[in-house]
């Protein structure tokens, strides 16, 4: 599986420079916003996630046109704002389940060789893949990794499934008991992912291929990821205090008489 991931990275390194740099910087910026301030702007975060989910559902499932896609995005965003902390908790629980499942599918994926992974002919090191072709490659590679991960999940043992589900349920329970902490953790989680993805794209723009280094030192980078999750969650709790509700002052009878 490592060969398939490194092949994908090598192909991405030939994407247009402006695509790698702009998307990478945007990913880092959005990631930092979520990582350190997502809890402060949780309504905007849930509205954005809701709009993306709603528009994707209308487009891919209902096969509707742009007007209905926009309506679906607005409705989903409004519903997400109404159930702000609940939506963040559910998304965080699902993401945590997937991450734990990736951990258990790792040995399965590493024990098998995937020779049928999508490849792209690169004539030379200076070749630049056009934007439209790059989008098509991303779709093809995304479907390959999804199908491969789905097949590996079927081979995970019962205890592995139980642990992944327990992690998600624990986060859901935390959402009821400690909603601010759970929301902060979810924002920190997605912020960390976006920062890592953005840095990967910027390094590809600079000509580096960091995936091989990541595979050589998985424990080291795993500890860095956990530290970022903890630090982002803690900083959000500190920097984003609970909003105080303004109390309406009811005039006393004496004040009215005066």
What is the token pair recorded at 122? 């690169």
Select the more confidently predicted residue: 258 or 123: 123
pLDDT at 94 over 90: no
Tally the domains of the chain: 1
Residues 109-133, mean pLDDT to the nearest whole number: 75
Does some domain include residue 65?
A: no
Does some domain include residue 228?
A: yes
Does some domain include residue 198?
A: yes
Mean predicted lDDT score pLDDT of the chain: 80
Does some domain include residue 211?
A: yes
Does some domain include residue 188?
A: yes
Q: What is the pLDDT of residues 155-214, one digit of tens each?
A: 887 888 888 888 888 888 887 788 888 888 888 888 898 899 999 888 888 888 888 778
Residues 109-129, mean pLDDT to the nearest whole number: 73
* Distance in angstroms (rounded) separating the CA atoms of residues 241 and 138: 40
pLDDT band for 255, please (50, 70, 90 cuts): low
Q: What is the pLDDT of residues 244-254, one digit of tens each?
A: 655 545 555 55
Q: What is the signed CA dihedral for 94, 100, 102, 104, rounded to 10 degrees?
A: -140
pLDDT reported for residue 231: 92
Does some domain include residue 203?
A: yes
* Distance in angstroms (rounded) separating the CA atoms of residues 152 and 126: 36
As a whole-number percent, the residues of the chain with pLDDT over 90 amount to 5
pLDDT band for 64, please (50, 70, 90 cuts): low
Q: Which residues of 183-221 are buried (b: 16+ CB within 10 A; e: fewer)?
A: bbbbbbbbbbbbbbebebbbbbbeeeeebeebeeeeeee
Select the more confidently predicted residue: 225 or 50: 225
Go through the chain and tell me how many residues it has. Answer: 258
Does some domain include residue 53?
A: no
Q: What is the pLDDT of residues 17-39, one digit of tens each?
A: 888 899 999 989 988 988 888 88
pLDDT reported for residue 44: 80
For residue 215, the enclosing domain spans 11-46+84-112+131-241
Does some domain include residue 97?
A: yes
């Amino acid at each position: 599986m490592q060969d398939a991931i490194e092949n994908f990275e090598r192909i991405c390194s030939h994407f247009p420079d402006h695509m790698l740099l702009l998307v990478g910087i945007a990913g880092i910026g959005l990631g930092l916003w979520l990582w350190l301030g997502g809890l402060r702007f949780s309504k905007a975060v849930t509205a954005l996630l809701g709009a993306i989910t709603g528009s994707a559902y209308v487009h891919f499932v209902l096969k509707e046109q742009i007007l209905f896609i926009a309506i679906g995005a607005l409705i989903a965003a409004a519903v997400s704002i109404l159930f702000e902390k609940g939506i963040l908790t559910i998304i965080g629980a699902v993401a945590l389940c997937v991450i734990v499942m990736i951990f258990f599918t790792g040995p399965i994926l590493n024990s098998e060789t995937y020779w049928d992974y999508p490849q792209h002919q690169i004539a030379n090191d200076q070749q630049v893949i056009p934007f439209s072709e790059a989008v098509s490659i991303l779709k093809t590679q995304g479907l390959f990794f999804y199908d491969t991960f789905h097949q590996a999940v079927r081979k995970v043992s019962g205890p592995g499934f139980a642990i992944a589900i327990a992690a998600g349920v624990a986060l859901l329970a935390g959402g009821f008991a400690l909603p601010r902490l759970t929301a902060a953790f979810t924002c920190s989680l997605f912020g960390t992912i976006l920062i890592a993805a953005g840095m990967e794209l910027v390094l590809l723009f600079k000509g580096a291929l960091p995936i091989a280094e990541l595979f050589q030192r998985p424990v080291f980078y795993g500890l860095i990821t956990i530290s970022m999750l903890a630090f982002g969650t803690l900083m959000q709790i500190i920097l984003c205090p609970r909003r105080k509700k303004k109390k309406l002052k009811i005039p006393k009878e004496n004040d009215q008489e005066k």
